Structure 1
Amino acid sequence: MKYLFILNDAPYGTERSYNALRLARNLLKKGVGQVELKVFLLGDAVACAKAGQKVPQGFYNIGDMLGMVCRAGGQIAACGTCMDARGIAAADLIDGVNRGTLDELTEWALWSDKEFVF
């Protein structure tokens, strides 16, 4: 099964991005060999992929969670227009996250069997 996750919320302040990545990680873990998964970060969610996030001890780190999705075989892109609007350069992104485009998101939507929007 092919899943597309579209995240819109900032990494902290709400738990939408956190919960989306929890589900994405669990799908990859439980569906080993059967699941293909892509995550597209839009709007404030592009900050989820900012490298060097420092959070209080015991608090989740969205950047680390994205890295776990990448290492489990997920593909992640951050909207380039949204990055520009927030002053985030491609060099600022964690390893495994690429600068994406609306055309790429469109292709991913056509590719997927199911979409989750957070």
Structure 2
Amino acid sequence: MTRTLFILNDAPYGNERVYNALRLAGALVNKEDQHVRVFLLADAVTCAKAGQKVPEGYYNVQLMLRKLLQKGELAMCGTCMDARGMTEAEILEGVRRSTLNQLADWTIEADKVLVF
């Protein structure tokens, strides 16, 4: 099994880095013998904010994360959450608050690490 770790740094909207990272992660998670993990750092923690409302026809990062959660793992930096005033009550179910130590462990365990 190939283990791929995605590390996302950017806000969910404004550029397409997160969108493209989640598209790739979504494609990989549906392939045979793939294990996908996504770790949200910095402004990317806002990707996991529940209740996102976007204009009709625009991609919705919340929906993309929900699909990933069906087969993959998602975690987010607790320090980054705190810096942005986010609480665990505001995040999508299934995404867990985590630490840099967890990211270090996931990095060691990964066969591939992609940073967006």
User: Shorter-chain TM-score: which interval?
Assistant: over 0.9
Backbone CA RMSD of aligned residues: 0.6
Deviation digits for residues 13-70 of structure 1 (CA, Å, limit 9, x no counterpart): 01000000000000112x23x0011000000000000000000000000011011100
TM score, norm. by length of structure 1: 0.96
TM-score w.r.t. length of structure 2: 0.97
Alignment partners' CA distance in 1, 2:109 and 2:9: 20
- Sequence identity (%): 56
Q: Secondary structure at the match of 1:87?
A: coil
User: Deviations along 1:86-112, whole A, 9 cap, x unmatched?
Assistant: 011111111110001000000000000
Counterparts of 1:91 and 1:111 in 2: how far apart (Å)?
Answer: 29
- Structure 1, gaps ≥5 residues long: none
1:21 aligns to what?
Answer: 22
Greater than 3 Å deviation, 4+ residue runs: none
What's the counterpart of residue 68 of structure 2? 69
Inter-partner Cα distance in structure 2 for 1:44 and 1:28: 24
Q: Distance in 1 between matches of 2:93 and 2:67?
A: 11
Offset from partner CA, 1:69-97 (integer Å, 9 cap, x none)? 001x1100010000000011111111110
Helix, strand or coil: the match of 1:12?
coil
Q: 1:11-50 residue pairs with structure 2 within 5 A?
A: 11-29=12-30, 31-32=31-32, 34-50=33-49
